[in-house]
Amino acid sequence: MTPELVVHAVPPFSLSGAAERVQRDAQALLDGPELARAQAMEPASRSRFLAGRLAQRRFAAELLGVRGSRLVAAYSCPRCGTGPGITHGRPGYLLDGGPAPLVLSLSRAAGWTLLAAVAGPPDSCRLGVDVEDPARTGFDGFPALALTHAEQQVVGHLSGGALLAGRARLWARKEAVLKMTGDGLRTAPSSLDVLQRNDVRDLLPAETGLPARLAAAVALSWAVPQPTGRGGRASS
């Protein structure tokens, strides 16, 4: 059965006093290691980080039908591993001491936080989501840094806003895939082709509630690895 994907976008906070409220809610709801990581950031980044973590915890709690205070952040970094002090990498939560039955992904851009989750996922389920601001792709070295040769051909004839939108769409797909695999940018994005993959797709504004100018993508895989011995097939 296809796992059900839920996506949710949280708008930038701009009301007066919002940063103070984020700080207060974070103290009440987030875990010590999350707060410690935030403490090392400059104020604007700290507020965005905390707002995203609060939104993620509330989103997860609602999907699981529990109070957010029952969840303990449990991150997994490809380099540092997992454990109580790890607060970066692939997101997740513990519930009553065991892994909460939820795969999650988060992305922030232009003040927005984009969240995606699959509740009650199969063991093999992996998820990545990304939102990008096209304005951030408008530098000369972008194609060589970020795109494969085939991708450069696809956007090469575009110009102006259409070029930036095309670049952002490809970049969002790449980061979604790199979060799904957990590798992040340890994999060179220019080596990852996202034109033909069937495990990543663009997310439309109607699905997310994001403004149309932002690009977003989700990558989802739940393939059960096939046995590679006689009669089996290597998973792709």
Ligand X SMILES: CC(C)(COP(=O)(O)OP(=O)(O)OC[C@H]1O[C@@H](n2cnc3c(N)ncnc32)[C@H](O)[C@@H]1OP(=O)(O)O)[C@@H](O)C(=O)NCCC(=O)NCCS
Would you tell me which residues interact with ligand X (CB under 6 A)? 49, 52-53, 77-80, 88-91, 106-108, 130, 175, 178-179, 182, 184-186
> What CA dihedral angle connects 53, 55, 61 and 64, to 10 degrees?
-100
Query: Minimum distance from CB of 221 to ligand X (Å)?
Result: 13
Nearer Cβ to ligand X (3/89): 89
Q: Which residue has the tokens 């089996």?
A: 232
Query: Minimum distance from CB of 184 to ligand X (Å)?
Result: 3
Residue nearest to ligand X (CB): 184
Contact 222, 126 (CB under 8 A): yes
Nearer Cβ to ligand X (64/231): 64
Strand order of the sheet with strand 5-10? 5-10, 112-119, 102-109
Query: Minimum distance from CB of 132 to ligand X (Å)?
Result: 8
The residue type of 202 is D
Element (H, E) at 56: helix 43-64
Query: Minimum distance from CB of 149 to ligand X (Å)?
Result: 22
Calpha distance 60→71 (Å, rounded): 9
Nearer Cβ to ligand X (165/178): 178
Nearer Cβ to ligand X (1/137): 137
